[in-house]
Amino acid sequence: MLTRYYMAVICCLFSLASFAQGEPTAYTQYEDYNLWNLNKADTAYVFAEQAYIRSAPSLKGTILDTLSAGQQVLISSEGYNGNTIRGIAAPWHEVTYLKGAQRKKGFIWLGLLALNGSRNSEGLLFVTGFKKLVPETSLKSAYYETALKVFNAQQQLLTSELYQTDSGGQLGTESKLLGGMGLQNIKNIHRFGLLSGACGVPSLFYYFAWNGTTLIRFPDKMSVSDAGVFYHEETLLFPSEHRGDPTLIYKRTVTGENTDDSLDEPIYKETKGQRTYHWDGRTLLER
């Protein structure tokens, strides 16, 4: 009886070792949160310069194909397993895509895909993605090294801009491609948001203007609140919104602080402010 028990244990250990050395024979569903929040049947775009398609949701899966940045894929499975690469934890998804006239499929690590993608009226594709997560130090909070990339209809990279975004517990992302908003020589304004879902965690929005050849960094904005304690709200007003001087952008702020925390309903003392930016058709400067 004991001999049979030990033999079963040995066989089990051997099976586990074989599983660890080869490709996974079963896929573990990934249930942790991630900022991509892509679901089955969603469209996504490759963000990395080169992305491997594998035979299984693992770094040990055989490489079946290589996709380049800007390639469109269709998410065709739930998230599986998970790896942390360049500080970013993300699952694997099976995807389908076109290569020439052939429809193909395989698994891709989610961190190689853009967080979102938007096309303008000229067919240009704007995508935002994370390159890596830079850990916290004694001098600086952790942040994502993020990039906005612009591709033409032939999937050629026209330009990209690298910038830093917060990693302070936001629970979602959004992307919106606006028109020129009344600004001279501006075709589009791209807004990327990291959205909060908790008290004290800010929602952050990053703006870039597109003049047809170049991405130009515009002011950021944020909003944060802690119920019954304080709130801070920032608003950007472009010429098409404030309908005043077409060369001016206003950044308005409102901060409220509870003056008496002993009351059931908070009474806030508000402080308002405004910053003004001047756009001359080429350069944005704060006045």
In 3D space, the residue among 45, 30, 81, 75 whose CA is nearest the CA of residue 60 turns out to be 81
**Residue 69, pLDDT above cutoff 90:** yes
Which pLDDT belongs to residue 23? 52
pLDDT at 33: 84
Q: What per-residue confidence (pLDDT) applies to 26?
A: 65
Tens of pLDDT, residue by residue over 206-238, are 999 999 999 999 999 999 999 889 999 999 999
- Mean pLDDT in the chain? 90
- Asked if residue 68 has pLDDT above 70, the reply is yes
- Per residue in 250-264, pLDDT (tens digit) is 999 999 999 988 888
pLDDT at 155 over 80: yes
Digit-coded pLDDT (tens) for 17-67? 333 344 555 689 898 889 998 999 999 999 999 999 999 999 999 999 999
pLDDT for the residue 8: 37
Asked whether residue 5 carries a pLDDT value surpassing 60, the answer given is: no
Q: Which domains does the chain have, with CATH numbers?
A: 29-113 (2.30.30.40)
